[in-house]
Structure 1
Amino acid sequence: MRDGGVEAPDLLNEVTHADKVVEKAAAGFLKSLPPEWRTVEWLGLERWQWVGVPLVAVAVAVVTWLLVRLSRATSLWLLRNKPEWQRMVQQQEGPLTLWWASWLGRLAVRALDLSSPVTSGFDTVLEIGVVVAFFWGVTRGLQAWTERYLVSQVAVTRPGSRALVSLVSRTLQFVLIAFAILAALSLLGFQVGNVLAGLGIGGIALALGAQKTLENLFGAFALTVDQPIREGDFVKVDDVVSGTVEKIGLRSTQLRTQDRTVVTIPNGKLADLRLENYAARDRIRLFTVLSLAHETSVEQLQQVTSSFRETLKAEEKLWPDSFSVRLIAINPASLDIEVIAWFTAVDFDEFKAIRERVLYRFLTTIDAVGTSVARPTTVMVNKPN
């Protein structure tokens, strides 16, 4: 229990026995020192302590490096048949280094036989180091698990879960950072209970002043849970802008337009707009009107429409019983044939290739029948003065 604060768990209880062993060894070492090495030189430190501080610091660094390498090698060997877990272990090198350095630093402070206030100050700093290492390691593990999930087969078969997992992961990382800060404040002697109470009161004022931010945050959750759009989808937003969804963040969503620009829309506003998701369609429609020359005979028209139908039937991606080839208009300068067909291609680039192939065959048919596409005509009327 710290003065004026809440009870904080002592993360270093496991080394209490080691502390006593080191202190006893230090006491025996001090008895063997010549008197001139026990004289105070500067800042209250004896001569042997000034020599010992850099030596102990180097020793802590070397032993920490060795222990980190040993821990890493042991973990990788135990997980030798699980490469995905090995990558997670490799990402823990930073937190593990801080963890070992903090524990060894506590023992080093005992060995230097520093004054009680200095020892207490070092203990607090090193305890904070252990806390930071713990939350840092958990955050790294969460990031590694998220990255592993996003490329897993489950995420591929359920693409909607990718955005949800990413959003939840970022939220949990923010919460972990907040807990780490509160734990560090508690170790420094601050009354965390009072801090939380103050945050509760100030949270009301903050919520009133951050309505737009909260609106965007809830909009992000709405987009992630309802999943009207997903990252990678091509969408049209309220007939104003269209593009590919690149990122659904906590505050906004980014669209990459066909001009390669990036449009950023706040999530709170996006959740209220009309979203047309082209990636959700199960087929794409081909619609065109071909105008033939007015001189085309009835027999030629019948040959053209019949050949058009056979061309569509020959397409593997044609949606069954979903096409129509009809003469729809007899104009003064043309005979119009309407073609409507659905194809099961969901990728628009694939559909464009199908459309191009079909239109080329239509033109080949028109030439083979002996007619032509109607040319635009202009009628000029001369009125007498």
Structure 2
Amino acid sequence: MSLFAIQRLATTWFWTAEWMTDMEGMQKKAEKVVEDPSNELWSPLVDKVLIPLGQITLIILLAYIALRYVDRVIDRLLNISRFHQKKGATLNRLIKSTARYAICFIAIIAVLEKLDVPVTSILAGAGIVGLAVGFGAQNLVKDVISGFFIIFDNQMDLGDYVQINGNIEGTVEEIGLRVTKIREFSQRLHYVSNGEITRVTNYNRDRMRPLVGVTVPYEADQELVQRTLHDINEDLSRRLAPYVIEPFSLFGVTNIQHDGVEYTIMGVVTPEEYWMVEREMRKTIVRVFHEKGIEIAYPRQILVPSQDLRPIFPVVPQNEKKPEEQKRKEIETEPSREKGDVPEGEDG
């Protein structure tokens, strides 16, 4: 008998034995089903299909309820807390966004466990991938960390008027973990990465000092100007009293310019009304100065004619010659006389 025939016979015997074993197993399974049909038929269906399906449905339902009511819970917690209104509005969006991500992540992990998916291996692989991505996305990590510090250091809140890095100025519309949105007065919207924010100038922190300067000519009555500015300060302090923290005062002569003397008035007001107060200060100065007849300086030139002006060096007219020069010219122009020449009209 050849080797090929022996190998074929062995393979046939192996498959026959396996088939016989399967037949015996199927026979035993059939006998168990006949003996206890309810347990043997429905138990695997319940254990392997219905119970996991019900658990997955319950997880999805709980996640939906959590996502629906998490906003209300966060709003209520921030309302009963001692956060400032702007601070609460800033944290509101951040906490809601983080809570939604957390709920969705937990729900997905729970569903995968019920489906017998190896969650541990997936998380381990995701951790390795996240570590590699972290090394490659250092700017993203920097933005997120900077965003946390901006929020918890209370550098700025929603609605604050700020200046970013000395060149972007506007109102804060949103502070996220990665990007901060600043809208200018012209309504242009700037998206600034949190990692690029190195200097924040906030115009909405407790108090602001409006400073308004006015320049009057040198010829003006300086005593009258100072008395008028004192009256203006008293009027502003009285009319703007709800917004005034420190009364308005005259800071004095702050500059001597080529066109006149500069005076500055100032005060301390609430930050929300800072711009309105400065506009009102300028308008009041112009109105009162006009009523008092005080002129506000502007670039000008004054020409004063005088009859006493004399030239330093005397100017000789062109038709007037000096005596010496006239004599010299006469000598040069006199006709020369030679021997024997007799002028006309003269006898010999």
Name the TM-score class by shorter chain: 0.5 to 0.7
In 2, the alpha carbon distance for the partners of 1:177 and 1:312 equals 57
Q: Equivalent residue for 2:145?
A: 218
Q: How does 1:171-320 map to 2 (within 5 A)?
A: 171-270=98-197, 273-288=198-213, 290-298=214-222, 300-315=224-239, 316=241, 317-320=243-246
Q: How many Å apart are 1:373 and its aligned residue?
A: 2.2
Quote how far apart the aligned CAs of 1:202 are. Answer: 2.8
Q: CA RMSD in A?
A: 3.3
Q: 1:363 aligns with which of 280, 286, 290?
A: 286
Match of 1:323 in 2: 249
Task: Letter of the 2:154 partner, please give it.
Answer: Q
> 1:68-113: per-residue Cα shift (whole Å, max 9, x none)?
xxxxxxxxxxxxxxxxxxxxxxxxxxxxxxxxxxxxxxxxxxxxx9
The 8 Å contact of residues 256 and 262 in structure 2, kept in 1 or not, is answered as no
Is the contact between residue 164 and residue 225 of structure 1 (CA under 8 Å) also seen in structure 2? no
TM-score, normalization by structure 1: 0.59
Q: Secondary structure of 1:231's partner?
A: coil
Deviation at 1:233, TM superposition (A): 1.1
Instruction: Give percent identity, aligned residues only.
Output: 22
Q: Residue 296 of structure 2 aligns to which amino acid in structure 1? A: V
Deviation string for 1:339-358 (max 9, x for gaps)?
A: 221132321xx334433433
For 2:65, the equivalent position in structure 1 comes to 137
Structure 1 counterpart of 2:210, one-letter code: R
Name the CA distance, whole Å, in 2 between partners of 1:204 and 1:331. 63
Indicate the residue corresponding to 1:351 in structure 2: 274
Alpha-carbon spacing, 1:130–1:192, altered in 2? closer, same or farther (3 Å): same
Following superposition, the deviation at residue 219 of structure 1 comes to 1.8
Deviation at 1:280, TM superposition (A): 1.0
Whole-Å separation in 1 of the counterparts to 2:104 and 2:236: 60
Show the counterpart of 1:66: none
Q: Which position in structure 2 is the counterpart of 1:76? A: none
Q: Residue deviations 1:199-218, cap 9 Å, x none?
A: 23333223223322222222
Q: How far is 1:261 from its partner?
A: 1.7
Counterpart in the other structure of 2:346: none
Tell me the CA shift for residue 246 of structure 1.
1.0
Task: Say whether the 8 Å CA contact 2:156–2:162 is kept in structure 1.
Answer: yes
| C-alpha distance in 2 between matches for 1:242 and 1:330 | 31
Cα–Cα, structure 1 residues 133 and 282, in superposed 2: closer, same or farther, change >3 Å? Answer: same
Equivalents in 2 of 1:332, 1:227: separation in Å?
A: 45
Given that 2:251 and 2:263 are in contact with CA atoms closer than 8 Å, whether structure 1 keeps it comes out as yes
Give 3-state SS (helix, strand or coil) of 1:213's partner.
helix
Larger Rg: 2
What whole-Å deviation, never above 9, does each CA across 1:271-327 have from its counterpart, x for those lacking one?
A: xx1000111141232221x23344423554454344344434434244436622534
C-alpha separation between the residues in 2 aligned to 1:191 and 1:181?
A: 13
Using the TM superposition, give the Cα deviation of residue 266 of structure 1 relative to its aligned residue in structure 2, in angstroms: 1.5
For structure 1, the 5+ residue unaligned runs are 1-26, 28-112, 381-385
Correspondence for 2:94 among 160, 167, 178: 167
Does the 8 A contact of 1:305 with 1:326 survive in 2? no
- C-alpha change, 1:163 and 1:329, in structure 2 (3 Å) is closer
Q: How far apart are the structure 1 equivalents of 2:128 and 2:290? A: 81
Q: Distance in 2 between matches of 1:306 and 1:328?
A: 16
Aligned pair in 2 of structure 1 residues 365, 196: CA closer, same or farther (>3 Å)? closer
Q: Does the residue aligned with 2:116 lie in a helix, a strand or coil?
A: coil
SS for the counterpart of 1:159 is helix
Q: Distance in 1 between matches of 2:208 and 2:287?
A: 26
**Aligned residue for 1:100?**
none
**Partners in 2 of 1:187 and 1:131 — Cα distance?**
10
Question: In structure 2, do the counterparts of structure 1 residues 325 and 313 end up closer, same or farther at CA, with 3 Å as the change threshold?
Answer: farther
The amino acid of 2:59's aligned partner reads V
> How far does the alpha carbon of each residue in 1:144-177 deviate from its partner, in whole angstroms, 9 at most, with x for none?
2123445x36467453244335323322321221
Which whole-Å CA distance do the structure 1 matches of 2:114 and 2:50 have between them? Answer: 12
Task: State the distance in 2 between where 1:159 and 1:279 align.
Answer: 11
How far apart are 1:269 and its partner, in Å?
Answer: 2.2
1:99 matched to which residue of 2? none
| Partner Cα distance (2:108, 2:115) in 1 | 11
Q: Does 1:372 align with 2:295?
A: yes
Kindly tell me: are residues 329 and 120 of structure 1, through their superposed partners in 2, closer, same or farther at Cα, counting changes over 3 Å?
closer
Q: In 1, are the aligned partners of 2:63 and 2:104 still within 8 Å (CA)? A: yes
> SS at 1:279's partner residue?
coil
Name the CA distance, whole Å, in 2 between partners of 1:356 and 1:142: 45
Alignment of 1:78-89 (within 5 A): none
Partner of 1:24: none
Shift of 1:181: 1.0
C-alpha distance in 2, partners of 1:298/1:257? 41
Q: Secondary structure at the match of 1:242?
A: strand
Contact 1:293 1:371 in 2 (8 A): no
8 Å CA contact 1:325–1:337 kept in 2: the answer is: no
Residues 1:128 and 2:56 aligned together: yes
